[in-house]
Amino acid sequence: MEKSCGAFFFSWPEAYQAGVEAVGGKGWNLSRLVRYGFRVPAGGVLAAGAYRAFWEENNLLETVGNIAQSITIGNIGEKGTEEKLFLIREKIKAGHISQYMLEELTSKLKNTGILKKPLAVRSSATAEDTAGASFAGIHESFLNVRGLDNVLSAIKGCYASLWTPRAVAYRRKMNVKDDEVFPAVVIMEMVEAVAAGIGFTCDPRTGRECVTLINANFGLGESVVSGAVEPDEYRLDFRWEVPERWTIAEKRIGRKEGKTVAAKDGGTEFIGSAGSAVIQVLADKDIHKLNLLILRVYDALGGGEQHQDIEWVFDGRDFSLVQARPVTALPRYTFDEIKNQPDMWSNANLRDTMPMVQSTLNWSFLEKLWKVPLKSVMKQFGYQNLSGFRQIRLYQGRAYTNISYMQWLFYDAFGFKPRQMNESLGGHQPEIKISEKSPYRGIKGFKRLVRLLKTIPNGLKIKKNAPKIFENVNGLTGAFLKENFKNLADKDLLNKSAEIRNAIVEFYPVLATFTGFADMSLLVKALEKFFPGKGKAMANALMAGGGDITSAQQGYRLVELATIARGDAAARRFFTGATFDPLRWEKVLPEESPFRQSFRDFLAEYGHRGIYEMDIINPRWRDDPSYLLNVLRSTIETADTGKIKARQKEKANEARQEVNQKVPFYRRGLINNLLKQAIKGAELREMAKSMLIKLYEPERIIFQETGRRLAERGILAEQADIYHCAWNEIFSILKGEWDGRGLDVLVGERKARREELGALSSPDLIIDEAPQFSETVTRSSGNALAGMGVAAGRASGAARLIGHPDEGEKLQAGDVLVTPSTDPGWTPLFLRASAIVVETGGFLSHGAIVAREYGIPAVVNIPGVMKMIKDSQLVTVDGDGGKVYI
């Protein structure tokens, strides 16, 4: 039995260090809130070990154990069972709290400054308020407890509440063993409550996740939590248009039949109140203030993933938090037609653009932004999408999209079959089951067909307007880059950030990914009539070298830069010298160097891009061009655009000859037009991505400036720590609603967690909550690995396994580039490769589009290919047949 000083009662910091097994879910979550800078009443936790000591002190273990074993879910309501449980409770209430525990408790409450103050005494069982079981409303709480004797009685009341019929029934239902639940007890100062209530970072009734709900009543929160009154309910919806990003969408003023208040002699009393129904409990400004607070809890305790159920108290000026726990039973929210099928979460095309563990800032920015394109696209076609649906999520820090939802959405809106969606996005996920025989039958089918046909004029309109839209983006971002954000006040910085976000939202319709998909589908379908089984291969070949693909142009320009450097004596010395420091290029190269000026021009046009640029934490080439200069260094002797152009021309000419031979002249015009539109769609898709990243750049600069300010004020240890802060935290500080205390601790934990997650292998698919790792592909026949051919041709070479663009120096001219995924940052390496093999990817992924443009044979979406192929192994890539021979 523990008798040492400090063995039982923990202050908030001590409770955090002790952990959830010692202080229970409620106590540990409160200690975390304190640690991360939230306002929590003074107090601490009487640890679960005190309960064990109490049992031993009063010889309850054997007596209670024997009774408990006889209670099952089947006899819980029987009179005999209730009498047994009543006996246990009475024995606990009559129990003796040891002298040494009493002395420690008295000393600690006195040191905390709350011994003589009204206290809240609340159960915090070790299995309580966890992600698996909330135990909400199961165990007792005692409010306005005055005097040490009453505190001791309340503690025993918390212990006894484990043995009520409802508590035992809950444990039996949740398969929680009795000896797995030990009650710690939270003891904290009562806050003067002008109003109180609960807040949710989602809608727990419907499962909607882009809303927050707040319930409020005057007085203590007990009237709200117990359901004694109909409280006010405020629903806030996410909106990009406002700096706060949230607006009050609905206010339902409840009847508020009364309120719970602290009784004069201890305890609480309910006072009926006439006329409260017409009075709004919280003013709008306080609703927004509370909303931001509970969103911070979502980011701090829930990691921006696990929704939170929060109890709060308002003293007329500030909000205090008295409980936070995960929402454990959120209803499934999806289309009715696929509710009987599991949710499939796939990394699909996300593995191309952001395969890494997401930074906190990027996720808090991207999670909501991701919903905008589909919402805007579907609105154009009169299709009612699910409001507040969670389309994207994290698993072990990496991003996944709800592929079940995507497959049904595009089927129901346009008649695209799940197989087509998988081909477009890539990934290794199965197809949802659809009972309809044809997507275009009946009234629903007719509507789908109408929407599908509307994609053609809609796509033409976007293509027509795209140059003007891109010009506007260039003008807007150019103006922002010239601004001196250092001179702006904090609130003005927030307004600038809002301007950029709104520009991104307005731009998103151009990013309608299905536009390129529809273009390619129509071309492939037309070619299949004359080239059965070869429609995709023919489309790939016809498109070689035919477009102005911005990410491909980056590669061409780098080859030209290497050629310029080869003829520039100063640049040649810089690249071939014994010591090479890429970041000194401007200092080392003279002003008159042709390469220096050409490289400046390149950065002016493409400097907004970077490796895995979709995460705002990653530097842009303008910030750090080391990667580009290393690529140039490795290609300075071999760069030659002539060979690339000749290869493109040869493939396209061969394909056109086949078309002329097999396609009647009166159908060639249609195919040529479809080819033109497919090329234009690919151009638009890649340029739209580039423009999106260009819009990210000023937002990144604003965040860097914010990081500088917070580091200067001592809130963050260094400027770069801003990328490990959530948007709600940044907004709270810049708005002056939080001093940032505790943020540095939270940032440190996030950085360590990000490193831990980065070492884990990520599954390709999650079905409901079960991770599914794709099995390594088996050979389709003999020595062939089957994938998806996305760029025509056939080439052989030594396989070079590259996991990250920074390893690109290993790739020699003529090697076959084998990689897990590609984004625009990989483009410079493509020009050295004779062929490309990618573990993931689809027909419209970045790697596919650029490989087609360059005329480099490419096969994508081969699960486990990085394990099947050995480095330096001779392989042959058949881009027409979609196979890799080893």
Query: Residues 591-623: pLDDT tens digits?
Result: 999 999 999 999 999 999 999 999 999 999 999
Average pLDDT over residues 665-672: 92
> Among residues 137, 171, 190, which one ends one of the domains?
190
CA separation for the pair 695, 825 (Å, rounded) = 17
Is position 285 within any domain?
no
Least confident of 29-38, 218-227, 424-433, 667-676: 424-433
pLDDT tens, 439-459? 999 999 999 999 988 888 887
pLDDT at 2: 38
CA separation for the pair 702, 485 (Å, rounded) = 7
25's CB contacts (< 8 A; 6+ apart) are: 124, 125, 126, 127, 128, 129, 130, 135, 325
3-class DSSP state of 670: helix
* CATH code: domain of residue 164: 3.30.1490.20
Among 347, 517, 541, CA closest to 424: 517
% pLDDT > 70, the chain:
95
The number of residues making up the chain comes to 886
Is position 673 within any domain?
no
Average pLDDT over residues 571-586: 93
* Domain around 109: 1-190
Stated as kind and residue range, the H or E segment containing 325 is strand 319-326
CB 430 within 8 A of CB 403: no
Is position 607 within any domain?
yes
Is position 822 within any domain?
yes
Average pLDDT over residues 814-839: 91
> Among residues 143, 162, 190, which one ends one of the domains?
190
pLDDT tier for residue 778 given thresholds of 50, 70 and 90: low
* CATH code: domain of residue 580: 3.50.30.10
Residue 875 has φ and ψ, to the nearest 5°, of -135, 160
- Name all contacts of 91-96 with Cβ < 8 Å and 24+ positions apart: 91/58, 91/60, 91/63, 91/64, 92/54, 92/58, 92/60, 92/156, 92/159, 92/160, 92/163, 93/153, 93/156, 93/157, 93/160, 95/54, 95/57, 95/58, 95/60, 95/156, 95/159, 96/57, 96/58
Q: What value, to the nearest 5°, has the Cα angle with vertex 98 and ends 97 and 102?
A: 80
pLDDT at 4: 39
pLDDT at 1: 33
Average pLDDT over residues 127-155: 80
Is position 132 within any domain?
yes
> Among residues 157, 190, 223, which one ends one of the domains?
190
- Enter the pTM of the model: 0.91
pLDDT tier for residue 230 given thresholds of 50, 70 and 90: very high
pLDDT tier for residue 241 given thresholds of 50, 70 and 90: low
Residue 738 reports pLDDT greater than 70: yes
Residue 510 reports pLDDT greater than 80: no
pLDDT at 130: 53
Region of 611 on the Ramachandran plot (φ > 0 left; ψ -120 to 50 alpha; else beta): beta
pLDDT tier for residue 673 given thresholds of 50, 70 and 90: very high
Mean of the per-residue pLDDT values of the chain: 90
pLDDT at 547: 82
Region of 572 on the Ramachandran plot (φ > 0 left; ψ -120 to 50 alpha; else beta): alpha
pLDDT at 109: 96
pLDDT tier for residue 240 given thresholds of 50, 70 and 90: low
Is position 409 within any domain?
no
pLDDT tens, 466-476? 889 999 999 99
Please give the structure tokens belonging to residue 221.
């929160």
Least confident of 593-602, 640-649, 775-784: 775-784
Is position 706 within any domain?
no
Is position 118 within any domain?
yes
pLDDT tier for residue 311 given thresholds of 50, 70 and 90: very high
CB 542 within 8 A of CB 652: yes
Among 363, 396, 349, CA closest to 760: 396
CA separation for the pair 796, 357 (Å, rounded) = 34
Three-state SS letters, 146-215: CCHHHHHHHHHHHHHHHHCHHHHHHHHHCCCCHHHCCEEEEEEECCCCCEEEEEECCCCCCCCCCEEEEE
pLDDT at 875: 96
Domain count, the chain: 2
pLDDT tens, 685-711? 889 899 999 999 999 999 999 999 999
pLDDT at 465: 86
Residue 761 vs residue 102, higher pLDDT: 102
pLDDT tier for residue 514 given thresholds of 50, 70 and 90: very low
State which amino acid sits at residue 281: V
